[in-house]
Amino acid sequence: MIPPQIIKYAVMGLGLLSAGYAVVDHFETKGYNRAIVELQSIANAEIQKATEKATAKAAKEMQKALDKQQLLHDNELERTKQEREVEVQIKRMIEYVDRIEIKTECITVGDDIIRVLNKTITESNVTSN
């Protein structure tokens, strides 16, 4: 039979061994968790930098697109304004031509020219209506 003192020392040894293992496990777990937190913070910082860079790039591209769209809009407004001015000038010309009366009794102008001018006036009246 095993003497009671050996059993006592064996139990104490196992207890100390268990306590030592628990202490080591505690510090290993604590170190592991600290390492995970540090790695996550590094990864989060890198993600934040990449996100800020991508956001800045997207904002620049969006601004370029908006500037291009504004330029197209301004050009279209200018073209429309010029078209309006041309339409006003054409209407004035038509009104002016409509007021011109060429009499068929005119001796100095030939009949062919009178017919051409009258035809032009007639056609301008048709298009203006």
Instruction: Please write the tens of the pLDDT for every residue from 58-104.
Output: 999 999 999 999 999 999 999 999 999 999 988 888 888 777 766 66
Both tokens of residue 3? Answer: 């003497």
Query: What confidence tier does 38 reach under pLDDT thresholds 50, 70, 90?
Result: very high
DSSP 89-111: HHHHHHHHHHH----TT-SSS-H
Confidence (pLDDT) at 127: 59
The answer to whether the beta carbons of residues 101 and 122 sit under 8 Å apart is: no
Q: How far is residue 55's CA from residue 43's CA, in Å, rounded to a whole number? A: 18
pTM of the model: 0.45
Checking if the pLDDT of 129 tops 60, the result is no
